Amino acid sequence: MTIKITHFETHDIRFPTSLTGDGTDAMNTDCDYSSAYVTIYTDSGLIGHGMTFTIGRGTDIVCHAIRELAGRLVGRDPESFFENMGKAWDWMCSDSQLRWIGPEKGVIHLATAAVNNALWDMFARARGKPLWKLIVDMTPEELVNATAFRYITDVLTREEALEMLEAKEAGKREREALVTKVGYPAYITSAGWLGYSDEKVSRLTKEALASGFNHFKMKVGADFKDDLRRGKMIRSIIDDPANYPSGFKDPSSPELAGKNAGPTGAVLMIDANQVWDVPQAIEYVTGLAEIKPWFIEEPTAPDDALGHAAIRRALKPYGIGVATGEHAHNRMVFKQLFQAEAIDVCQIDSCRLAGVSEVLSVLLMAAKFGVPVCPHAGGVGLCEYVIHLSVIDYVAISGTMERNVLEFADHLHEHFPYRCTMNERGRYNVPSNPKEGYSIEMYKESIAEFEWPNGSYWVGASGGKKLST
How many Cα atoms are found within 13 Å in the side-chain-facing hemisphere of 333?
24
CA 107 to chain centre: 17
Q: Out of 129, 133, 259, 376, which one is annotated catalytic? A: 376
Per the DSSP assignment, residues forming a β-bridge with 51 are 37
DSSP 231: H
Q: Tell me the Cα Rg of the chain.
A: 21
- How do beta strands 215-219 and 267-271 pair? parallel
Burial class (CB in 10 A: 0-12, 13-18, 19+), 96: exposed
| Known catalytic residue at 7 | no
- How do beta strands 267-271 and 184-188 pair? unpaired
Residue 34 is inside which H or E element, if any? strand 34-42
Q: What are the φ and ψ backbone dihedral angles of 144, each rounded to 5 degrees? A: -60, -40
Q: Helix, strand, or coil here: 300?
A: coil
Taking alpha carbons only, the member of 247, 234, 132, 228 closest to residue 189 is 234
CA 28 to chain centre: 17
| Known catalytic residue at 219 | yes
Asked if 418 and 441 touch (Cβ cutoff 8 Å), the reply is: yes
- Quote the CA–CA distance of 387 and 377 in Å, as a whole number: 9
Burial class (CB in 10 A: 0-12, 13-18, 19+), 394: buried
Q: Out of 11, 219, 388, 415, which one is annotated catalytic? A: 219
Catalytic residues: 219, 376
